[in-house]
Amino acid sequence: MDMSLFPRRRLAHLPTPLEPMPRLSAHLGGPQLFVKRDDCTGLAGGGNKTRKLEFLIADALADGADTVITAGSVQSNHARQTAAAAAHCGLRCELVLPRFVPWEGPGYEVVGNVLLDRLLGAEVHLLPADTDRDAAMARVAEKARVRGARPYVIPVGGSNALGALGYVECAAELLRQAADLGIAIDALVTASGSGGTQAGLVVGCQRLAADFPVIGMCDAAPAQELAETVRALVAALGELLGGSRDIDWGRVEFLDAYAGAGYGLPTDAMVEAVTLAARLEGLLLDPVYTGKALAGLIDLVRRGRFRGDDTVVFVHTGGAAALDAYAGVFAGGGV
């Protein structure tokens, strides 16, 4: 895989660490758990969108854009990282954020990611819950064009083939680190939402002949829907990268049992997972993605999915900036 063919604007602190989680592993009495620290990508709080934005922002700059537009939930980590990337590169940023998460936590529209969006200079459009995000981004782009600007629209989650390249690269980085540490990975677990992270990891791992499963924990969508999204992204990545396109789908899993009542809505298991990671490893997860994903991994461990001498890597995709928007849920507050 020659990634140097694709223009890239460096934004992330790489490589991110690959670290053991010995106290969490001992507490669960299960496999050896490691964490790939993509919460440490460094851009205004970091997270998985920064790797994608290296390719997307490079494309925007090559396009001559002076404005980037993207969309997400009110507490979108992707929106915050896009706002930071834009500020860093001297681009204007407009964010389309429909209020579709039925969460009434105090400060939900004021603190956390949306506070940072505003601080980073983005123009925030808080829109009604049922707003079609793609149509709304097209309208914002049209208005920008009328003003004489040159907008570039980044899809929700930065999840197109170009963005997913960031996670093809991450897979290569992870496999190098595992080799350096002398560990053999038996499973890789990631939160999965718009699908670009999981699609990139699947393509990167399989092209480098890694034979472990890549398990995606759905943030909301039914497993079937996420599977279709990831399949489409994997196909698009195949087009972009060329070469061998055979994917063993038997080694790609989609689990939707841990999403609870819906996107952005807390679950008891998420609260337990976030609390365990904090108290046993000093690690800050998030309420929307990584908390639910670790809750899923903990459940798999408790159900005996892994052997004691297995090595399982959890991808920490970031998101702790949203914790404040869920104050009251943690530290004994309950759901």
Ligand X SMILES: *Cc1c(COP(=O)(O)O)cnc(C)c1O
How far is residue 87's CA from residue 122's CA, in Å, rounded to a whole number?
A: 8
Should residue 70 be labelled a site residue for ligand X when binding is judged by CB under 6 A?
no
Alpha carbon of residue 209 to chain centroid: 23
Is 326 near ligand X (CB under 6 A)? no
Question: Interface with ligand X includes 289 (CB under 6 A)?
Answer: yes
Q: Does the footprint of ligand X cover residue 166 (CB under 6 A)? A: no
Q: Does residue number 112 form part of the binding site for ligand X (CB under 6 A)? A: no
- Could you give the count of Cα atoms lying within 13 Å of 208 in the half-sphere of its Cβ? 21
- Whose CA is closest to 32, among 170, 205, 182, 251? 182
Q: Which of 30, 112, 166, 193 binds ligand X (CB under 6 A)?
A: 193
**Closer Cβ to ligand X, 141 or 164, answer by number:** 164
Q: Which is nearer to ligand X, 144 or 194 (CB)?
A: 194
In this chain, which of 217, 317, 323, 325 binds ligand X, going by CB under 6 A?
A: 317
How many Å from the N-terminal Cα to the C-terminal Cα in the chain? 45
DSSP string, 296-317: HHHHHHHTT-S-TT-EEEEEE-
Q: Considering only residues 157, 204, 291, 296, which one is a binding residue for ligand X as defined by CB under 6 A?
A: 157
Smaller CB separation from ligand X, 34 or 263: 263
Q: How far is the CB of 313 from ligand X (least distance, A)?
A: 15
Q: Which stretch binds ligand X (CB under 6 A): 23-31, 89-97, 145-153, 195-203?
A: 195-203
- Report CA-CA distances (Å) from 152 to 68, 72, 263: 5, 16, 27
Q: Which of 25, 76, 159, 194 is an active site residue?
A: 76
Query: Is residue 192 a contact residue for ligand X (CB under 6 A)?
Result: yes
Are 335 and 266 in contact by the 8 Å Cβ rule? The answer is: yes
Cis preceding linkage at 31, omega within 30: no
Q: How do the residues of the chain divide into helix, strand and coil, expressed in percent and rounded to 5?
A: 45, 15, 40
Q: Does 196 bind ligand X (CB under 6 A)?
A: yes
Active site residue 194: no
291 binds ligand X (CB under 6 A): no
State which of residues 25, 197, 206, 311 lies at the interface with ligand X (CB under 6 A).
Answer: 197
Q: Does 306 bind ligand X (CB under 6 A)?
A: no
Confirm or reject binding of residue 286 to ligand X (CB under 6 A): yes
CB of 315 to ligand X, least distance (A): 8
290 near ligand X (CB under 6 A):
yes
Tell me which residue of 66, 67, 130, 56 sits closest to 99, measured CA to CA: 130
Residue 244 parent element (H or E): none
Sequence-ordered list of residues with C-beta below 8 angstroms from that of 185, at least 6 positions apart, any chain? 174, 175, 178, 210, 212, 311, 312, 313
- Is residue 77 involved in binding ligand X (CB under 6 A)? yes
Residues at the site binding ligand X, with contacts judged by CB under 6 A: 47-48, 77-78, 157, 159, 191-198, 286, 289-290, 317-319
Which positions are catalytic? 76
